[in-house]
Amino acid sequence: MRILAVLVRYQTALEESRTFRGLKSALASDPDLAGSYKVMIWDNTPEPIAAPQLPPGFLYRRSNANLGPSGAYNQALGYARAQGHEWMLLLDQDMEVRADFLHALLRHRRQVESQGQIAAIVPTIRVGKVVVSPRRQRFNRLTPYAQGETNILPGEAMAINSGSLVRVSAVEQIGGFSRDFWLDYADMDLFHRFHLHGMRVWRATDTELQHEMSIMDYDRLMSPWRYRNFSRAESAFNDLYKGPLENAAQTVRVFLRAIRQRRKHKNPEFSRIAWEQMIYRLTTPRKERLLEWRAGSERR
């Protein structure tokens, strides 16, 4: 059964998406890949593409509202289950997807097919020279794995959703993609729940992808609205899953971040948002913060 590759589009023309162009080129030039992957484009853009011209093996779906990546992946999860796809490749619209990457995932899938405890296969993701995924969860921080560490990753492994190959049955077992973490921290929530359910992550060290992340480039890619959403999601993730010591450490981290951002970034709004988040964490009890977070999710 083919892998279902899910590309989430938002306010970008398809031909301007690096991911779409890479998938189209790879599948058109390689019959083996064309027979191994089916591509779903899930469109979160308010205005749909009128009569999209798609290559064979591509399909187009959309929602009337912006569901975020999590909502899009949940819709694709239902399709995958109905059509018998056992694996989903999660993609955003701005990744450099090549044929060698797609072949590597097929090789690794064959290796772990019978190992039901493997919930995801993840490549190495870099932003420039910095490895951002996978990383190991430590006390209130993420640390990179050793360069050659492969196969089943030790400890609690975190990875970004984009570029990850996830087992459909594993995602269903943990209840699907989070509706609360609809945009930011969706990947942290997914991989943490894998860990809580005793599932493991397989690292494909023989393949790498370059990626752009707004959290790594405030002046060029991050907007105040997105940073406020990120800050709230980060706070909610810690409130939901972490103990008192880690939550105290998180509040200190936000304080130090506010100082650093005021010195480092052109837009002072980022520092103001961090200050607001720190004060909120100091003045609002954890239980109340979680209630407000979930109420906000329901309103959205």
Average predicted confidence (pLDDT) for the chain = 93
Q: What is the pLDDT of residue 210?
A: 84
pLDDT digit string (tens) for 32-53? 999 999 999 999 998 888 888 8
The more confident residue out of 211 and 274 is 274
Cα 124 from Cα 148, distance rounded (Å): 11
The alpha helices in 99-144, defined as continuous H runs, are 99-112
Return the number of other C-beta atoms located less than 10 Å from residue 32's C-beta: 12
Give the DSSP letter of residue 49: P
Of 193 and 145, more confident: 193
Confidence band for 146, pLDDT divided at 50, 70 and 90: confident
H-helix or E-strand spanning residue 120: strand 118-127
240-258 pLDDT, tens digit per residue, is 999 999 999 999 999 999 9
CATH fold group of domain 3-212: Spore Coat Polysaccharide Biosynthesis Protein SpsA; Chain A (3.90.550)
pLDDT at 290: 95
What's the token pair of residue 32? 């083996």
Domain segments of the chain: what residues? 3-212, 216-299
Give the pTM. 0.94
pLDDT-based confidence at 129, cuts 50/70/90? Answer: confident
**Dist. CA 277–CA 231, nearest whole Å:** 7
149: pLDDT confidence band, cut at 50, 70 and 90?
low
Strands 200-210 vs 151-152: parallel, antiparallel or unpaired: antiparallel
Looking at residue 153, what is its pLDDT?
95
pLDDT of residue 241: 97
Q: Which of 161, 163, 4, 191 is nearest to 80 (CA)?
A: 4
N- to C-terminal Cα distance for the chain? 36
Q: What is the pLDDT of residues 155-184, one digit of tens each?
A: 999 999 999 999 999 999 999 999 999 999
Beta-carbon contacts of residue 171 (< 8 Å; ≥ 6 apart): 77, 88, 119, 177, 190
* DSSP character at residue 211: B
CB 5 within 8 A of CB 58: no
What is the predicted pLDDT for the residue at 138? 92
